[in-house]
Chain A
Amino acid sequence: MTDATLTDVPDRVKPSSEALLAKPTGRGPRDNVQIIRWILLFLGGILMVMPIAYMISTSLKWPHEVYNVNLIPDEPTIENYTYVLEDGRFFNWFINSIIIATITTISNLFFDSLVGYTLCKFKFPGRTLVFIAILSTLMIPTEMLVIPWYLMSQQFGWLDSYWGIMFPGLMTAFGTFLMKQFFESVPDDFIEAARIDGLNEFQIWWEVAMPLVKPALAALAIFVFLGNWTAFLWPLIVTNSPDMYTLPVGLAGFGDEADVAWELIMTGAAISTIPTLVVFLIFQRFIIRGVVMAGLKG
């Protein structure tokens, strides 16, 4: 969060069209429009967070109070959390998810930027071909690949392992493309200067170019981590034993157990959602900027 380029940019770099169209002085009908607009947007926003609020609220309720539509529990309790975490499974799934999302994020940051940098800053035969080939994989839906991946995992004994869950996501074409776009902004002179100083190509990439694209790396990290944290289809297919489940897969099965009560399901849902919400609340502007960058560049 120390990166100046991302955080110090003022939120509103230019006045909005409304501000420009508004009368320069005095109160008028436009102020009323502003007030009504604010109230409507506020109410809409409250509606948007209602499902999340109810999830958290219900996870703090005693079983007899679950069907009460009150958002604030009469007697809040963390009993559900103690119960669900003592059960051990959620804790286990949580750790699995952390490990998988972290390793895939690191792998993507490393390889996507290495490939993006190479495609951007090196001249070599086959460059365009490699770029087009990687980009073309964006068109292939994951769903088409899961059957061959499953067969591959079966042959190599990767079923039901961390490696099996992670291997398809170690690099992404989206990340490579994003990083290539950002390395365009690194001046060739910097690289030339480093070369004259006697740095080898790996050092130039790692020590000179990478620090200059930190904002892009942050954006990519958020996307990859969130994507792997919430991934469902492939982990569902590749895991068999409950010990290897990720949080979403575990939660899906947990919710389906016949006798499980809604307050416990909501607690499980909260455990798989709250960490990303907390991270978001801390790094809010940073993440929104990352989404904008990734969205517009990708």
Chain B
Amino acid sequence: MTAYRNLTIRQKQIVWAWIFLAVPVLFYVVIRFYPTGNAVLISFQDWNLLGARTWTGLDNYEKLWNDPTFWKVFVNTFEYLIIGTPVSLVLSFVIAYHLDKLRFAHSFIRMLYFLPFMTSAVAMAWVWRWFYQGVPIGLFNNLLASVGIAQIEFLNSTTNALPAVLAPAIWAGLGFQIIIFMAGLRAIPVSYYEAARIDGVGWWTVLTEITIPLLRPTIVFIVVFSSIGFLRIFDHVFNMTTNNPGGPLNSTKPLVLMIYDTAFNAFDMGYAAAQTVVLFTILLIVSLLQLWILRSDR
């Protein structure tokens, strides 16, 4: 203790800081950094979890490049992104824009839109899966039948299954995006609208010249946040297709489901690790690309 007492205030601060950081720094090194390096390392090895690890260099990546399933999965993953992000962006903006102008029962209606965000993806995947069943089980087909429209194969069709799985994912995240958009709308200074009003500018000009440009940081956040979400889609797909995960014929399989299958059903750890490195690279490229496209100083 005397040693501590003799320290200067600045030195005492350094001691305290490292006492506070000791456990967390250990945590981040052992639970985040070491595994990251380890994943990259395993991706260069051949290992089935039981046998010996053998160094195989780029073999796993080469196998991935030549694997038709991977390219199917790659296309699927980007379909989730390319349909999901714009649809949820436009929907959430339109809803937030109008919700912001609502004067009566504002918080009640806002609550209706937000509720799905509080649900668990697994539970809701099963609800939607039930909706999609054929007559006489599924709700959607029952409704269609009652107005005399032919049944639609939602989850058993290679063309319909991916949008059918994507819909609940968009639905579940919409509430979050609406709330963020509404916060962004509220943050726009009133003086801009007052000036527009004095100038007698129409609502469309106000929207395109004031609201949307000033919402740019919010839009950037939502685009990056939701694309990362769609690129990592798993819970919805897995639970809506458990009888044939990623099916029919891999038409709904995203990259994360392929990783899960390769690692924990086929126990091909090296190959799965190579897929995770690819996922990491895609996420990084897509986020950086979006930040660059949507950068504010253009």
Contacts and interface: CB of A to CB of B under 8 A. Distances in A.
Interface of A: 11-21, 34, 37-38, 40-42, 44-46, 48-49, 51-52, 54-55, 58, 66-67, 69, 111, 114-115, 117-118, 122-125, 127, 130, 133-134, 137, 139-141, 143-152, 167-168, 170-171, 176, 201-202, 205, 226, 229-230, 232-233, 237, 247-249, 251-252, 255-256, 262, 265-266, 268-270, 272-273, 276-277, 280-281, 284-285, 287-288, 291-292, 295-296
Contacts of A170: 27, 31
B169 interface: no
B130 interface: yes
A255 B121 CA distance: 14
B295 interface: no
A12 B130 CA distance: 40
B113 A48 contact: yes
B24 interface: yes
Interface string B89-111: 00000010011111111110111
B177 to A, nearest CB: 9
Contacts of B176: 291, 295
B221 A248 contact: no
B18 interface: yes
Interface string B141-177: 0110010000000000000000000001001001110
A134 B28 contact: yes
B284 interface: yes
B220 interface: no
Contact of A144 (B95, B105, B221, B279): B279
A122 B27 contact: no
A17 B103 contact: no
A233 B260 contact: yes
Nearest to A281: B111
A17 B193 contact: yes
Given A42-B112, A118-B16, A171-B28, 8 more contacts: A16-B101, A16-B185, A44-B113, A133-B28, A232-B120, A265-B130, A288-B179, A291-B179
A273 B119 contact: yes
B137 A255 contact: no
Q: How large is the interface on B (under 10, 10 to 19, 20 to 34, 35 or more residues)?
A: 35 or more
Interface in B228-270: 232, 234-235, 238-239, 242-243, 256, 259-260, 263-264, 269
A248 B123 contact: yes
B98 A148 contact: no
A41 B119 contact: no
B264 A237 contact: yes
A122 B11 CA distance: 11
B32 interface: yes
Contacts of B115: 48-49, 52, 277, 280
Contacts of B128: 51
